[in-house]
Amino acid sequence: AIRMTQSPSSFSASTGDRVTITCRASQGISSYLAWYQQKPGKAPKLLIYAASTLQSGVPSRFSGSGSGTDFTLTISCLQSEDFATYYCQQYYSYPSFGPGTKVDIK
């Protein structure tokens, strides 16, 4: 099974900050990577697939990059509604998720 790790596990940020979350796969997964946002008590929401393709309706301040084993999710200008937990997921083989990165208010 492909293991996914994320860093950091949590951090505090301010509105307007540029934030970057890193995801690493235990083996190469090409660009078969998705990013999700989850708020407390809510279902996950797809943000990005194929490592860098923005899902329809997702604000352009979200972007993704990477291929192989190392990936990043960047939020260019953090908004109040972006405080949430973010998960990466590989779908190169049977899907598996990273442990999540919680972004809270500084």
Partner 1 sequence: EVQLVESGGGLVQPGGSLRLSCAASGFTFSSYWMSWVRQAPGKGLEWVANIKQDGSEKYYVDSVKGRFTISRDNAKNSLYLQMNSLRAEDTAVYYCARDQGSGGDCSGGSCYSDYWGQGTLVTVSS
Q: Is 34 in the site for partner 1 (CB under 8 A)?
A: yes
43 vs 60 by CB, closer to partner 1: 43
Q: Which of 23, 37, 49, 82 binds partner 1 (CB under 8 A)?
A: 49
Angle at 46 between CA 61 and CA 78, to 5 degrees: 25
Angle at 104 between CA 100 and CA 106, to 5 degrees: 145
Parallel, antiparallel, or unpaired: how do β-strands 62-67 and 53-54 relate? Answer: unpaired
Piece of 12-20, 49-57, 60-68, 75-83 that binds partner 1 (CB under 8 A): 49-57
Q: Is 20 in the site for partner 1 (CB under 8 A)?
A: no
17 vs 69 by CB, closer to partner 1: 69
18 vs 59 by CB, closer to partner 1: 59
CA 17 from chain centre, in angstroms, equals 16
CB 3 within 8 A of CB 94: no
Q: Is 32 in the site for partner 1 (CB under 8 A)?
A: yes
